[in-house]
Amino acid sequence: MLLMGLVVFGFMWLQQPSEAEMAEYQRQLDSIEAVQKAQQRTDVTAGNVDTISAAEVTHLKSVLANMPEGNATINNEGVILSLKDGELNGTVTVADTTVTWDEVAAATSSNPAVHNLAVQAVQRALDVYAKNGSFAASLTGTEQLVTLENDSLKVELSTKGGIIARATLKGYKTYKTPQLLLFDKGDNDYSFTLSNNTQRFETKNFYFEPQHINDSTVLMNLNLEGGAQWGLKYTLVPGSYMVRMEMVQKSMSRLIPLNINLVDLDWHQKISRHEFGKQFEERNSGVYYKYAGKGGDVKHMSENGSDEDEVKEQLKWVSAKNQFFSTVLIADSVFTTANMTSNTTNDTPDYEKYLKDVNIHTMIPYSSDKAVPASFYFYLGPNRYHMLSSYDKYSPKEDLKLTHLIPLGWKFFRWINTGVIIPVFNWLGKFMSNYGLIILVLTILIKLILSPLTFKTYISQAKMRILAPDIAKINEQYPNQEDAMKKQQKTMELYRLAGANPMGGCLPMLLQMPILIAMFTFFPSCIELRGQSFLWANDLSAPDKILEWSGNIPILSSLFGNHLSLFCLLMTVTNIIFTWLTTKSQPSSNSMPGMKWMMYLMPLMFLFFFNNYAAGLSYYYFLFTLITILQTYLCRFFVSEDKVRATIAENSKKPKKKSKWMERLEEAQKQQQAMQRQQAKANNAKRRR
């Protein structure tokens, strides 16, 4: 393969044209271009112009004649034409010049260049209207915004495409604006594509007629040929963040064959930035979706960068999710398949305004003879646990699992959050309004529950500290590597007689880890902390910056950011103090001299890792570690080491049955000693030879 590659590249190098040949080739291209430009100038001077054919004129009249009375106008890219008394009239604007229909239809022109552009514009308009057939009349119109609102949500519907163009969440604000737009006009659009055997009709191209049914319901309607109608009916559910969207139609089987059983849906949204800490918000934003069925899981695309996914199974809902807010489209039936892309905005001019650019293409079941062939719910609101849980009532046949929009960790840690942490947190919120104090009380409650484990850890550490001199003597007695098994046996025998367990301090700490991990996922997702101030922190859901600098330091900025968070710094300091206390209470060992250095390195790594996280999380870990340090000193005050020594002495006097593990250890030692003796004999025999 290497030789073949060398031959191919060698041949290409030998066959490349010389500079003289390249210059001659370029000269020929320039000559051809000059001749073409000269011919174009000759054609224009001679008055050679494009013309509208008789067939195209007839087609234009036919399109306009089939439009509903009062809306018989073609309006597309500067082309405005209408039909009056069987004759076409209107204007065409191209290149900042407006010409009449009579001038466009003429065979000659005093300005051939403009004339030709006008003819091409009319031909393009005719093509657009011809492709849209029965829907062509709705291509012309004026965009209007129709508002629906309740105490929680305000939505503005656009007649262009019949979509929800803007959604405002009441009672919330962003880091820089007094109101929170979940998405603004131009940031959210979706379109249904209807089709017959020869044509495709994209609803985003049409102007709908709004009809107010009542204060909370608006119908966006298209009046089509032969009395057919197609529209989207929106109903804002009172007192909620839900918007009901129904596809309604009448006599559509005249336009769409019954053999068409699917409709395409294309949804595009730019996920807006709302929080002060953009980097962390971006890492918690993306596309979520749920598989259809009672046991359907909730999945999501990568949130750390751009991603694309193709799902061939049926879906119940799809969502463009932010850290604290989501837009969720829930189907009453199913989405049959989905192709989804999620792109970051890092390299775009919209970097500061948007987090992700999301595109979702899916299909839904459809039948042209049904009055309501498809219906949906739009959830446009906050990622608040109890609220999302209450919306399961909108799908009585299956659990919507909307609470999975809140990332609360893997299954076991999620159970801790949903079963313990969130109920206690909400219960404390009934009595206190300051969330900094709520976190303090919650931390104290958790530490009280875990206090038996903390006490057990201290007792184990005390025993190990008392046995440290005896362990040192054993190490001095068996310094050689070949005696490692015997040294281990003596050490374990000492532990057994003293009733000490070298893992006794680690096991209680491991039992606390699930709660620590659960809290790690809870605080960054807790919308209750959003905008809540405490001490110097203006927002417990964002970093509490006390020092900030400009500039971008490679690698460091992506990990640490361009600021320093005080709660994170306090957490790091308390972890270093706790590490010092822990290492001080443990017997020293020269076998692993780098271990102590590694133990001090971990808190410093936490400083880099947590600096961009929510202040509430760092504040919790700071309190947790600080209370642990206080518990350690309390244990030393109330627990007498003399009593621990006396307990060890009593345990050492009691006869104890060897455990099976100790028996296996002794058996392994005997086998090792036997092998060492055999190896020594073999070595001696070799020396004699």
pLDDT digits (tens, 9 = 90+) for 30-88: 655 554 554 444 444 445 677 888 888 888 888 777 776 656 777 777 888 888 878 88
The helices-and-strands tally (H runs, E runs) of the chain is 18, 25
Q: How far apart are CA 509 and CA 631, in angstroms?
A: 14
pLDDT digits (tens, 9 = 90+) for 401-445: 999 999 888 888 888 888 888 999 889 988 888 989 999 999 888
Q: How far apart are CA 311 and CA 343, in angstroms?
A: 18
Q: Which residue, 243, 217, 244, 248, is CA-closest to 232? A: 248
pLDDT digits (tens, 9 = 90+) for 557-594: 555 667 788 888 898 888 888 888 777 655 554 445 55
SS3 655: coil
**How many C-beta atoms lie closer than 10 Å to residue 514's C-beta?**
14
204 and 162 Cβ atoms separated by less than 8 Å: no
DSSP state, residue 57: H
Whether the predicted pLDDT of 190 surpasses 70? yes
613 and 621 Cβ atoms separated by less than 8 Å: no
- φ and ψ at 14, to 5 degrees? -70, -30
Q: Which secondary-structure segment (H or E) carries 204?
A: none
Tokens for 671, please give them. 């086998």
Of the CA atoms within 13 Å of residue 35, those in its CB half-sphere come to 6
Tokens for 515, please give them. 């709660």
pLDDT recorded at residue 392: 80
Q: Which secondary-structure segment (H or E) carries 656?
A: none
The overall average pLDDT reported for the chain is: 81
Whether the predicted pLDDT of 174 surpasses 70? yes
Model confidence band, residue 128 (pLDDT cutoffs 50, 70, 90): confident
Q: How far apart are CA 390 and CA 238, in angstroms?
A: 14
Whether the predicted pLDDT of 290 surpasses 90? yes
pLDDT digits (tens, 9 = 90+) for 11-37: 666 666 666 666 655 666 665 555 455
- φ and ψ at 434, to 5 degrees? -90, 115
SS3 5: helix
Whether the predicted pLDDT of 357 surpasses 60? yes
Strand partners, 310: 339
Between the alpha carbon of residue 607 and those of residues 214, 289, 336, 572, the distances in Å are 56, 34, 46, 6
pTM of the model: 0.74
561 and 546 Cβ atoms separated by less than 8 Å: no
Fold assignment, 139-407: Beta-galactosidase; Chain A, domain 5 (2.70.98)
Domain boundaries, the chain: 54-131, 139-407, 435-651, 657-689
Whether the predicted pLDDT of 154 surpasses 80? yes
Q: Which single residue is written with the structure tokens 């034409």?
A: 81
